[in-house]
Amino acid sequence: MHWIDPACLPETRGKVTQFLLNPHGELDGLILNTPGSTLQVHFPPHMTRQVTKHIAPGNTIRVRGVKPRTANVIAAVSLASQNGVEIIDEGPQHHVPGTARLEGKPMDVQGEVTMSLYGPRGELRGALLDEGTSLRMPPHAAAELARYLSPGAFVQAWGRGVKNKHGRTIDVDDIAELIDAA
Protein backbone atom coordinates (compact mmCIF):
# COMPACT_ATOMS: atom_id res chain seq x y z
CA MET A 1 0.00 0.00 0.00
CA HIS A 2 2.97 2.28 -0.24
CA TRP A 3 1.33 4.16 -3.15
CA ILE A 4 -1.51 5.48 -0.93
CA ASP A 5 -1.02 8.88 0.71
CA PRO A 6 -1.68 8.26 4.43
CA ALA A 7 -2.74 11.88 4.98
CA CYS A 8 -5.85 11.22 2.84
CA LEU A 9 -7.02 8.36 5.04
CA PRO A 10 -9.12 8.57 8.22
CA GLU A 11 -7.22 8.52 11.49
CA THR A 12 -8.03 6.21 14.41
CA ARG A 13 -6.53 6.73 17.87
CA GLY A 14 -6.30 4.21 20.64
CA LYS A 15 -4.22 2.27 23.12
CA VAL A 16 -2.23 -0.80 22.04
CA THR A 17 -3.17 -3.81 24.18
CA GLN A 18 -1.05 -6.44 22.41
CA PHE A 19 0.84 -7.32 19.25
CA LEU A 20 -0.23 -10.08 16.86
CA LEU A 21 2.28 -12.48 15.32
CA ASN A 22 2.17 -14.37 12.06
CA PRO A 23 3.16 -18.08 12.09
CA HIS A 24 6.83 -17.10 11.52
CA GLY A 25 7.06 -14.95 14.66
CA GLU A 26 6.92 -11.63 12.80
CA LEU A 27 4.46 -8.93 13.81
CA ASP A 28 1.56 -8.47 11.43
CA GLY A 29 -0.81 -6.50 13.58
CA LEU A 30 -1.94 -5.28 16.94
CA ILE A 31 -5.07 -4.91 19.03
CA LEU A 32 -6.17 -1.32 19.61
CA ASN A 33 -8.62 -0.15 22.26
CA THR A 34 -10.44 2.93 21.02
CA PRO A 35 -13.20 4.87 22.72
CA GLY A 36 -16.17 2.56 22.28
CA SER A 37 -14.52 -0.46 20.63
CA THR A 38 -11.62 -2.85 20.32
CA LEU A 39 -10.29 -3.46 16.84
CA GLN A 40 -7.55 -5.25 14.99
CA VAL A 41 -4.95 -3.25 13.10
CA HIS A 42 -3.22 -5.21 10.36
CA PHE A 43 0.16 -4.21 8.95
CA PRO A 44 2.65 -6.17 6.84
CA PRO A 45 5.44 -8.15 8.54
CA HIS A 46 8.13 -6.05 6.87
CA MET A 47 7.16 -3.25 9.28
CA THR A 48 8.05 -5.36 12.38
CA ARG A 49 11.41 -3.76 13.11
CA GLN A 50 10.10 -0.17 12.92
CA VAL A 51 6.94 -0.96 14.90
CA THR A 52 8.79 -2.67 17.76
CA LYS A 53 11.33 0.15 17.87
CA HIS A 54 8.70 2.87 18.37
CA ILE A 55 5.50 1.25 19.68
CA ALA A 56 4.81 -0.95 22.70
CA PRO A 57 1.71 -2.36 24.40
CA GLY A 58 0.24 0.35 26.61
CA ASN A 59 1.15 3.14 24.15
CA THR A 60 -1.47 5.42 22.65
CA ILE A 61 -1.01 5.57 18.88
CA ARG A 62 -2.61 6.94 15.74
CA VAL A 63 -3.40 4.72 12.74
CA ARG A 64 -4.29 5.71 9.19
CA GLY A 65 -5.57 2.97 6.96
CA VAL A 66 -8.37 1.31 5.07
CA LYS A 67 -11.28 -0.45 6.78
CA PRO A 68 -13.01 -3.25 4.88
CA ARG A 69 -16.81 -3.16 5.00
CA THR A 70 -17.16 -6.67 6.39
CA ALA A 71 -14.71 -6.77 9.30
CA ASN A 72 -13.56 -4.90 12.40
CA VAL A 73 -10.01 -4.42 11.11
CA ILE A 74 -7.96 -1.54 9.74
CA ALA A 75 -5.32 -2.31 7.11
CA ALA A 76 -2.72 0.24 8.23
CA VAL A 77 -0.84 2.42 5.79
CA SER A 78 0.78 4.40 8.59
CA LEU A 79 1.16 4.20 12.35
CA ALA A 80 2.24 7.11 14.54
CA SER A 81 3.81 6.43 17.94
CA GLN A 82 2.86 8.36 21.05
CA ASN A 83 6.13 10.28 20.55
CA GLY A 84 5.03 11.35 17.06
CA VAL A 85 7.26 8.99 15.04
CA GLU A 86 5.38 8.09 11.85
CA ILE A 87 5.90 4.60 10.43
CA ILE A 88 4.72 4.40 6.83
CA ASP A 89 4.29 1.22 4.79
CA GLU A 90 6.78 1.81 2.01
CA GLY A 91 6.49 -1.75 0.75
CA PRO A 92 8.81 -4.66 1.46
CA GLN A 93 12.56 -4.22 1.21
CA HIS A 94 15.00 -6.93 0.27
CA HIS A 95 15.86 -9.41 3.01
CA VAL A 96 17.40 -7.69 5.99
CA PRO A 97 20.17 -9.63 7.79
CA GLY A 98 19.12 -10.84 11.23
CA THR A 99 15.45 -11.26 10.32
CA ALA A 100 15.33 -15.04 10.17
CA ARG A 101 11.84 -16.49 10.37
CA LEU A 102 11.05 -18.76 13.28
CA GLU A 103 9.97 -22.31 12.62
CA GLY A 104 6.90 -23.37 14.56
CA LYS A 105 6.96 -26.12 17.17
CA PRO A 106 4.08 -28.43 18.06
CA MET A 107 1.71 -26.57 20.39
CA ASP A 108 -1.79 -26.78 21.68
CA VAL A 109 -3.92 -24.24 23.49
CA GLN A 110 -7.43 -23.88 24.79
CA GLY A 111 -9.53 -20.91 25.76
CA GLU A 112 -12.39 -18.60 24.95
CA VAL A 113 -12.38 -16.65 21.70
CA THR A 114 -12.47 -12.93 22.47
CA MET A 115 -12.38 -11.69 18.89
CA SER A 116 -12.14 -12.95 15.33
CA LEU A 117 -8.99 -12.03 13.39
CA TYR A 118 -8.97 -10.88 9.78
CA GLY A 119 -6.64 -10.31 6.87
CA PRO A 120 -6.20 -6.86 5.35
CA ARG A 121 -9.15 -7.30 2.96
CA GLY A 122 -11.51 -8.38 5.74
CA GLU A 123 -11.21 -12.13 5.16
CA LEU A 124 -11.55 -14.26 8.31
CA ARG A 125 -8.15 -15.75 9.20
CA GLY A 126 -8.36 -16.84 12.83
CA ALA A 127 -9.19 -15.78 16.37
CA LEU A 128 -7.71 -14.27 19.50
CA LEU A 129 -8.08 -16.26 22.71
CA ASP A 130 -8.68 -14.77 26.17
CA GLU A 131 -5.17 -15.74 27.31
CA GLY A 132 -3.59 -13.80 24.40
CA THR A 133 -2.72 -16.50 21.86
CA SER A 134 -3.76 -15.91 18.28
CA LEU A 135 -4.99 -18.81 16.17
CA ARG A 136 -4.19 -18.53 12.46
CA MET A 137 -5.35 -20.43 9.40
CA PRO A 138 -5.85 -19.86 5.67
CA PRO A 139 -9.00 -17.93 4.72
CA HIS A 140 -10.70 -20.95 3.08
CA ALA A 141 -10.28 -23.02 6.27
CA ALA A 142 -11.36 -20.12 8.50
CA ALA A 143 -14.53 -19.63 6.44
CA GLU A 144 -15.46 -23.29 6.96
CA LEU A 145 -14.69 -23.09 10.71
CA ALA A 146 -16.21 -19.65 11.40
CA ARG A 147 -18.29 -20.85 14.36
CA TYR A 148 -15.09 -21.92 16.18
CA LEU A 149 -13.55 -18.49 15.55
CA SER A 150 -16.45 -16.38 16.81
CA PRO A 151 -16.35 -14.48 20.12
CA GLY A 152 -17.67 -16.59 22.98
CA ALA A 153 -16.64 -19.96 21.51
CA PHE A 154 -14.55 -22.19 23.78
CA VAL A 155 -11.98 -24.07 21.72
CA GLN A 156 -8.91 -26.22 21.83
CA ALA A 157 -6.47 -25.92 18.92
CA TRP A 158 -3.41 -27.87 17.82
CA GLY A 159 -0.75 -26.93 15.33
CA ARG A 160 2.70 -25.47 14.92
CA GLY A 161 3.27 -22.38 16.99
CA VAL A 162 5.77 -19.68 17.74
CA LYS A 163 6.29 -17.69 20.90
CA ASN A 164 8.52 -14.70 21.48
CA LYS A 165 8.61 -11.56 23.62
CA HIS A 166 5.83 -10.04 21.50
CA GLY A 167 3.30 -12.85 21.76
CA ARG A 168 2.28 -16.34 20.75
CA THR A 169 0.50 -17.68 17.69
CA ILE A 170 -0.48 -21.11 16.43
CA ASP A 171 -0.85 -22.06 12.79
CA VAL A 172 -3.87 -24.30 13.37
CA ASP A 173 -3.96 -27.86 12.03
CA ASP A 174 -6.94 -29.02 14.14
CA ILE A 175 -9.54 -27.23 16.23
CA ALA A 176 -12.37 -28.49 18.42
CA GLU A 177 -15.09 -26.93 20.51
CA LEU A 178 -14.79 -27.41 24.28
CA ILE A 179 -18.28 -28.38 25.38
CA ASP A 180 -17.79 -28.32 29.18
CA ALA A 181 -15.70 -25.10 29.27
CA ALA A 182 -18.57 -22.64 29.72
Q: Report the alpha-carbon distance of residue 77 to residue 5 in Å, rounded.
A: 8
SS3 100: coil
Q: Residue 182: what pLDDT?
A: 55
Q: Concatenate the DSSP letters of all residues of 74-90 into one string.
A: EEEEEEE-TT--EEE--
Cβ pair 64, 98 in contact under 8 A: no
| Check whether domain 6-88 has CATH 2.40.50.1010, yes or no | yes
Same fold, 6-88 and 105-181: yes
The secondary structure of 16-62, three-state, reads: EEEEEECCCCCEEEEEEEECCEEEEEECCHHHHHHHHHHCCCCCEEE
Is the full-model pTM beyond 0.85?
yes
Q: Identify the CATH class of 105-181.
A: mainly beta
Please state the domain extents for the chain: 6-88, 105-181
Q: Residue 154: what pLDDT?
A: 97
**Per-residue model confidence as pLDDT tens for the chain (182 residues):** 467 888 899 999 999 999 999 999 999 999 999 998 999 999 999 999 999 999 999 999 999 999 999 899 999 999 999 999 999 998 887 655 555 566 789 999 999 999 999 999 999 999 999 999 999 999 999 999 999 999 999 999 999 999 999 999 999 999 999 987 55
